[in-house]
Structure 1
Amino acid sequence: MSKQALVFIDGDQGTTGLQINERLRGRTDLQVLTLPAAERKDLRRRADAINAADIALLCLPDAAAREAVALVENPAVRIIDASSAHRTDAQWTYGFAELSPEQPGRIARARRVTNPGCYPTGAIALLGPLVKAGLVPADYPLVLHAVSGYSGGGRAQVEQYEGADTDAAAPFVLYGLGLAHKHPPEIQLHAALSQRPLFVPSYGAFRQGIVLSIALHASLLPAGASQQALRATLEQHYQGAQAVRVWSAQQSLEAARLDPTIHNNTNDMTLGVFGNEAEGHIMLCAVFDNLGKGASGAAVQNLDLMLSAL
């Protein structure tokens, strides 16, 4: 890349946009294009900025992200969409760089990249390699539990917990009780599952971080799908990965609890395999920052891959 790339963040005052701005601060290889406060909702000014950019990052609600994509007239503009609008669209490249050895190259060459959801990032990181290896059946009756920091709910939820009336903010909330959350189709597609997983999300009274867990019964797994085999498969898949690591058997044995905040303000994610062999119970876990590897960190990782192809 010989010239300074021009990057526009549409929605730069939202939770993800602000974090991307912070992560790009001080970079000399790119210029971040911003709009004055009075013009951020001006459709024409947004269209001008998108079409002037080398790469536009959309940090918007789904409907607004679709609207922004429709504004593209310059065929050279490349898009990273941080919303959930295009995560199951076959015309968009899925922006989880560790999905396969080929995925970084696909992202680098792509015109349209859809950033993964925060919860799906952990679920797909755990399940994708194991399903591909045949250690977790594609039709396994999966139940995924996850707890996130309250920032996952966006600016309104942040204000509820950090505003004037913090006493009204609950210490813990289980939500999505209708089991119709938007993330299961994304998880099913990109983890190559043959049936929709049951997903149980929640958030707690901490700002950011995620622990996602998936319980497995060894009796429902193929022969040889032990804790050791599952861990070895994950270790092999993520060997040399930039952002993902796997706890060793010794680290897993020594772990007494998982803190969702250990990777806050980074793009790191750690995966673990735990269990009780006598009972045939196995638990897969992922820990990462919902605003890092689950959002802005992944967006900047994808941006860097795309910049490498300019």
Structure 2
Amino acid sequence: MTTARIFIDGEAGTTGLQIRERLEGRSDVELLSIAPEKRKDAAERRRLLNDADVAILCLPDEAAIEAVSLIENPQTRVIDASSAHRVKEGWAYGFPEMTRTQSSAIAEARFVANPGCYPQGLIATVRPLVETGLLPAGTPVTLNALSGYSGGGRKMIEDYEAAEDPAPFMPYALTLKHKHLPEMRAYAKLDHDPLFQPAVGAFAQGMLTFVPLQLWSLPGRPKAKQLFDVLADRYDGETFLSVAPYETVDRIPTLDPRIFNDTNRMRIHVFGNDDREQALLVAVYDNLGKGASGAAVQNLNLMLGRDETTGLVMAA
């Protein structure tokens, strides 16, 4: 097996550190590192980017765009963890479970845009319903979500860990603008941006996303069990993504946002009330795992022709 040279540009950040941790010790990859004092040295970054078989960009958007411009070697492939290229033509969207053929598209791509953490829960729950016609693309969709504070980057992590009494629940993006909206709309196949309301909790990592649906407003007035059947069929046999059994419950302990921390798993739940003709689609996963670094390693495995699970924790 040929050893692949991997350069993580921005390895000192939260996502970069976790990607490196997942890759360290693997005999099939060689990690290229930049000296700390040269992290802003364009010439050194250019050299490493062009020496790599795959460059993984864990950078702010503008820096990620600059990094791509520094790559002159046509053999260097790229995984960009920023939001700079997620809806850009020529870039494969790095959510392998999005369609039955997406993993093949990622495997063959030179440029792969790693998904945002929040969009994956929306796309996973909504897109199959749109594609089967149960949910018209023009339906007004709402996404409520809760993330661990690690999703806010190093400054937010420092603030939360230094606080004596951090806010247990902090809604944000109250201007109803967010950088994830373009990819949500594009890859969930919606006609309009969803109304997105995220929040941060006083826990380090983990994520829950919620999509409420008024079934009485949809053509044919489908039952919640019909939504479940579509999702269960779509994700049957997937390695990392599963659908929990359909059940009518008031609460369940497994809807803990931290349950899949340090894994690359995602689980979907469908809840419903037939009398009220309402349903709730829920996804639980790790914002730093399937939502970031785990997804990047999964995409890297596909691009290198490795087993999809290499270096990734399966069990919770």
* TM-score tier after normalising by the smaller chain length: over 0.9
State the match for 1:267 in structure 2.
Answer: 264
State the match for 1:75 in structure 2.
Answer: 74
User: What are the ranges of 5 or more consecutive residues in structure 2 without an aligned counterpart?
Assistant: 307-316
The Cα shift of 1:254 comes to 7.5
TM-score, normalised with respect to structure 2: 0.94
Matches within 5 A, 1:86-101: 86-101=85-100
State the match for 1:297 in structure 2.
Answer: 294
- Mapped to 1, the partners of 2:208 and 2:149 lie a distance apart of 13
- Mapped to 2, the partners of 1:161 and 1:44 lie a distance apart of 36
State the match for 1:17 in structure 2.
Answer: 16
The Cα shift of 1:167 comes to 2.3
Q: Residue type of the partner of 2:252?
A: A
State the match for 1:192 in structure 2.
Answer: 189
State the match for 1:306 in structure 2.
Answer: 303
The Cα shift of 1:169 comes to 3.3
CA contact 2:61–2:83 (8 Å) conserved in 1: yes
Residue 144 of structure 1: SS of its match in structure 2?
strand
State the match for 1:6 in structure 2.
Answer: 5
Question: Structure 1 residue 256 and structure 2 residue 252: aligned?
Answer: yes
- Mapped to 1, the partners of 2:222 and 2:52 lie a distance apart of 48
The Cα shift of 1:222 comes to 2.2
Question: Structure 1 residue 279 and structure 2 residue 273: aligned?
Answer: no
- Measured against aligned partners, the alpha-carbon deviations of 1:196-227 in whole angstroms (never above 9, x if no partner) come to 11100110100001110011011112216211
The Cα shift of 1:241 comes to 0.8
User: What are the ranges of 5 or more consecutive residues in structure 1 without an aligned counterpart?
Assistant: none
State the match for 1:216 in structure 2.
Answer: 213
Matches within 5 A, 1:156-175: 156-163=155-162, 166-167=163-164, 169-175=166-172
- Mapped to 1, the partners of 2:21 and 2:251 lie a distance apart of 33
Question: Structure 1 residue 153 and structure 2 residue 152: aligned?
Answer: yes
State the match for 2:43 in structure 1.
Answer: 44
- Mapped to 2, the partners of 1:281 and 1:91 lie a distance apart of 39
Q: Residue type of the partner of 1:227?
A: A
The Cα shift of 1:184 comes to 1.4
- Measured against aligned partners, the alpha-carbon deviations of 1:50-76 in whole angstroms (never above 9, x if no partner) come to 000000000001010001001010000
- Mapped to 1, the partners of 2:89 and 2:269 lie a distance apart of 30
State the match for 1:140 in structure 2.
Answer: 139
RMSD value, Cα: 1.3
- Mapped to 2, the partners of 1:218 and 1:294 lie a distance apart of 28
Residue 229 of structure 1: SS of its match in structure 2?
helix
Residue 205 of structure 2: SS of its match in structure 1?
coil
- Measured against aligned partners, the alpha-carbon deviations of 1:265-304 in whole angstroms (never above 9, x if no partner) come to 0000000100211111100000000000000000000000
- Mapped to 1, the partners of 2:202 and 2:151 lie a distance apart of 11
The Cα shift of 1:36 comes to 1.4
- Mapped to 1, the partners of 2:113 and 2:82 lie a distance apart of 8
Question: Structure 1 residue 204 and structure 2 residue 201: aligned?
Answer: yes
Percent identity, aligned pairs only? 50
The Cα shift of 1:126 comes to 0.6
- Mapped to 2, the partners of 1:226 and 1:280 lie a distance apart of 7
Q: Residue type of the partner of 2:7?
A: F
Runs of 4+ in 1 over 2 A off after TM superposition: 167-171, 252-257
